[in-house]
Amino acid sequence: MSMSDFLSPLDIAAAIQAFQAPGSFDHRKFFQLTGMSKKSVNQIKNIFKLLDDDENGVIEEDELPFFLQKFQPGARLLTATEMEKFMAAGDRDRDGKVGAEEFQEMVQS
C-alpha cells in the first residue's frame, strides 16, 4: 500500500511543492492540498498506518521529521518548529503522541 492508493500523485506533488521552504509547513493546508481532508474515516486510518513507521498505533515525535517523505520520497524534513506545531495540533490528550483518532480529527478539522 502507498499514499497514491488513496491520494492523487499530482495533488501530493503540488502539496510538497507548496511547502518546499523550511518553516512553511501548515498541516491544515497540506491536508487540503493533498485531498486528504475529503477522504473517508477508513481512508484516513489507512493513510495513518502508512505514517506510523513502527506500527505501534501512534505517530511519535521521532517519526515526524520524515512526514513529507512518506508522501513523496526525497521531500524535505520537517523542522523542529513544524513538528512542535503538528504535535500541539494533533496530540489532544497530551501524551506526546498522535493516535489514529487524533490524526483523523486533525485531518478533518
The pLDDT tens digits for 2-12 are 999 999 999 99
What's domain 3-108's superfamily in CATH?
A: EF-hand (1.10.238.10)
Grid look-up 499530482 returns: 10
Residue 52 marked ligand-binding: yes
2, amino acid identity: S
Residue 26 marked ligand-binding: no
Residue 63 marked ligand-binding: yes
Residue 54 marked ligand-binding: yes
Residue 95 marked ligand-binding: yes
Q: What's the pTM value of the predicted model, to 2 decimals?
A: 0.93
The pLDDT tens digits for 14-23 are 999 999 999 9
Q: Where are the domains of the chain?
A: 3-108
Cβ atoms 44, 104 nearer than 8 A: yes
Q: Which of 80, 82, 78, 54 is nearest to 65 (CA)?
A: 78
